[in-house]
Amino acid sequence: MASNKYNIQQVTLSAFYHSTEDPNKVRQALLNVVPKDLRSEVSFEESIVSGYYGNTIGILTLKFKSKKAERVFTYVLCSLNATDKAIFSATLSNRVGVKNSIVFLRLSKQDAYLGQLSLMDGDDIIKLSATVKGVRTFEELKKYIDEVLSSCA
């Protein structure tokens, strides 16, 4: 288990969908990013916006706080394959906010729909942002992330 000194305060998952996509499949992809026992408790936030060319774009968002946020974050990291875990750890400095307390991951929306979590740098993604409470420096964040990754069974 990760250090008690640091913990995940909030996790936000979001994904876009276009008019050519089935919003229910995007909802399922988002649900697959959440531990199974928390899936029945989620409440989707949905907003509709217009794209540059006037096309309709839907945005689905899930938010978790405290212990549920910690569980979602750990579930995601532990669900990545060994290669993605290594990539995430090696590129962590590119995945943090200005204050070193926010971590960003981009997950493949297609893979998530199929029940597998994997990192992706393209457009068809689920964005995860996690706020880590207690972290002040990048080194502290790196130590916390390494602890979470080493706790994976």
When pLDDT is cut at 50, 70 and 90, the band that residue 3 belongs to is low
CATH of the domain at 21: 3.30.1440.10
* Tens digits of residue pLDDT in 44-69: 999 999 888 888 999 999 999 999 99
Compute the average pLDDT of residues 26-40: 97
Kindly report the pTM of this predicted structure: 0.93
Question: Could you give the number of structural domains in the chain?
Answer: 1
Q: Does 15 map to a domain?
A: yes
Pairing status of strand 45-50 against strand 102-108? unpaired
Would the pLDDT of 29 be above 70? yes
Q: Which domain holds residue 58?
A: 7-151
Q: Does 78 map to a domain?
A: yes
Q: Does 13 map to a domain?
A: yes
Structure tokens that stand for 139 in this block: 């080194």
Q: Does 16 map to a domain?
A: yes
Q: Does 114 map to a domain?
A: yes
3-class state of residue 88 by DSSP: helix
Percent over 90 (pLDDT), the chain = 86
Would the pLDDT of 23 be above 60? yes
Q: Does 123 map to a domain?
A: yes
User: Hey, what amino acid is at 37?
Assistant: D
When pLDDT is cut at 50, 70 and 90, the band that residue 109 belongs to is very high
Give the count of beta carbons closer than 10 Å to the beta carbon of residue 92: 15
63-80: burial string, b at 16+ Cβ within 10 Å, e else: bbeeebbbbbbbbbbebb
Q: Does 2 map to a domain?
A: no
pLDDT of amino acid 76: 98
Q: Does 1 map to a domain?
A: no
Residue given tokens 């400095």 in the structure block? 93
